[in-house]
Amino acid sequence: MTEHVLRYTRVFDAPRELVFSCMVEPEHMTHFWGPIGVTTPLDQITVDARPGGAFTTVMVNDADGSTYPTSARYTEVSAPERLSWVEAHSGMTVTVRFTDLGDDRTQVDIEQAHVPAQMLDPGAQAGFRTSLDRFAAHLDRLTRAERS
C-alpha cells in the first residue's frame, strides 16, 4: 500500500514565535484557516495546544454556506519549533516545522502523511496553497502593525 505524502514549504517574513503562535491561537487562525472561498469563524475554532489536546474547526463555504468540520488531536507541541497532529476523520498526520532563518524570517515545512485521495487532487492542493497565501497576508498585516 502506498503512503500518500504531501509536502509544502513557505518562508514568511515574520519571527518564528509569531508564526508558531498564529498556528495555535484561534484569534489568528480565523484569518487564514482554509482556502480562499471559505471562512472559519472564531467561535468555530477550539484549540488545546498540548500533546493529547484536541483542536476543532468548522470552515464555512462563502458561496453556499456548506460546512466542513475538522477535528484533530495533537501528538506534539514543541513551541516554537514543531507541531504535529492526527485528524480524526481521515487519519491524516500533519507535521509542521518552524525554522528561524534570522532577520525575522521563518521557514515553515508542512508534511501531510496518509493523505486521503480527495486531497491528492491538484485542485485541492492548490486550495491548500491559497490558505498559505492567506497566512502570509495575515502575518504581513501583523508585522506591519508592529512596526508602526
Residue 11 CB neighbour total at 10 angstroms: 12
- Which residues, in sequence order, are bridge partners of residue 113? 5, 93
Instruction: Show Cβ contacts of residue 56 under 8 Å, excluding neighbours closer than 6 positions.
Output: 44, 45, 46, 69, 70, 71, 72
Query: pTM (2 decimals)?
Result: 0.94
Residues 6+ apart with CB under 8 A from 134: 31, 32, 34, 36
CATH topology of domain 5-147: Alpha-D-Glucose-1,6-Bisphosphate; Chain A, domain 4 (3.30.530)
Task: Print the SS3 string covering the chain.
Answer: CCCCEEEEEEEECCCHHHHHHHHHCHHHHCCCCCCCCEECCHHHEEECCCCCCEEEEEEEECCCCCEEEEEEEEEEEECCCEEEEEECCCCCEEEEEEEEEECCEEEEEEEEECCCHHHHCHHHHHHHHHHHHHHHHHHHHHHHHHHC
Give residue for cell 472559519: 40
Task: Report pLDDT digits (tens) over 23-74.
Answer: 999 999 999 999 999 999 999 999 999 999 999 999 999 999 999 999 999 9
Provide the pLDDT for residue 145: 84
pLDDT at residue 147 in the model: 77
Confidence of residue 148 (pLDDT cuts 50, 70, 90): confident
Model pLDDT, residue 142: 96
pLDDT value at 82 more than 80:
yes
Convert the pLDDT of each residue in 99-122 to its tens digit.
Answer: 999 999 999 999 999 999 988 999
Closest CA to 55 of 72, 78, 34, 31: 72
Query: What are the cell numbers at 65?
Result: 454556506
